[in-house]
Structure formats: C-alpha cells, structure tokens
Amino acid sequence: MKKYSILIGFALVLSLTACSSNDGNKSSNTTARLEASSDGNLTDEGKVMHLNAEQFKNLVWDYSKNADTWVFKGDLPVIIDFYADWCRPCKMVAPIMDELAAEYKGKIRIYKIDTDKEKELAQVFNIRSIPAVLFVPKDGKPQMSVGALPKPTFITAITDVLMVK
C-alpha cells in the first residue's frame, strides 16, 4: 500500500509540473530576450537566447548532417529549454533560466526553443511534454529532464552534468 501511495504522489507531482504538447489555449505572452543573429553568431552572453532550427544547427548540432551521431558544435556547455508560451510550468521556469544565464555568464549558454514554432526540433528530440530541458555538456552525451524543476536542481545539474571535466 505504501508503494502505491508513493507512486501516486510521484505521478501527481509530474502531472503538475509538465504540460502535454498540444496547441490548445495559446497565449501571446512575449518577452524581450536576446536573439542569436541569423548567421548563427552570438551577440552577447549572460542572457537567454531564443533559437530557431537553423540557428540550432549552427550553434548546437546539425542533425540534418549527423542524424545518427551527436556532434556538439558549441564552445561552452548548453542548457536548452523547450517551451511554449501557453504552458504555465514553462512560465515558472523562465525566470530561473534568466537568473542562471546571468549567474553562469561565460561558463554556460542557455537557449530556449518554442516547440509550437519549431516542431521539427521538438520531433528530433521526441518532446512530448514541456517544459523539457536538455543539458548539453561540452564533451559527452546530452541529458533530458522533463517538468518544472526548482533552481537548486538546475544548479546541481549544471555542476554534475555540464561542469564535469
């Protein structure tokens, strides 16, 4: 009985911290954020940058050329926040990402990808629930996390996954 209570509690937490990836009830909540330029060059660090598929291919991984092999193109570890404007848990994660981008300026980069606009990228990473956060170390394989995580969990992931030498 205790096992079932724990399992039900865990399922409840997951359901409260993730949105399914449907297109219902979109809002037009837009926030001004730094964009990577169209040629893929970064214009600044310490800010969250929104990427489209072409910028992702230039800055992170060109999945069209290396579909079977992960070849990271970046010079710093990366966190990629897959989100949608209508997703309440995504809105809870957004200010945490802004804080982390400023706190880890020059050590990591944080990108955001709108799954409603970049459906191909969402499909490449099999995004079914958002927010989904991809942790990409400079060397090694990326790791995915789903759901709205608290800031201390992100800091632990940065330390344990991204900053490992």
Catalytic residues: 87, 90
- Cα–Cα dist 164/157, whole Å: 10
- Cα–Cα dist 34/50, whole Å: 7
Give the pair of three-digit tokens for residue 43.
Answer: 């214009």
Q: What is the DSSP letter of 40?
A: S
Question: Are the C-beta atoms of residues 82 and 127 closer than 8 Å to each other?
Answer: yes
Report the DSSP pairing between strands 19-20 and 129-130: antiparallel
Helix, strand or coil, per DSSP, at residue 129? strand
- Cα–Cα dist 104/93, whole Å: 16
Rg of the chain over all Cα atoms, to the nearest angstrom: 16
Helix, strand, coil share of the chain (percent; to 5)? 35, 20, 50
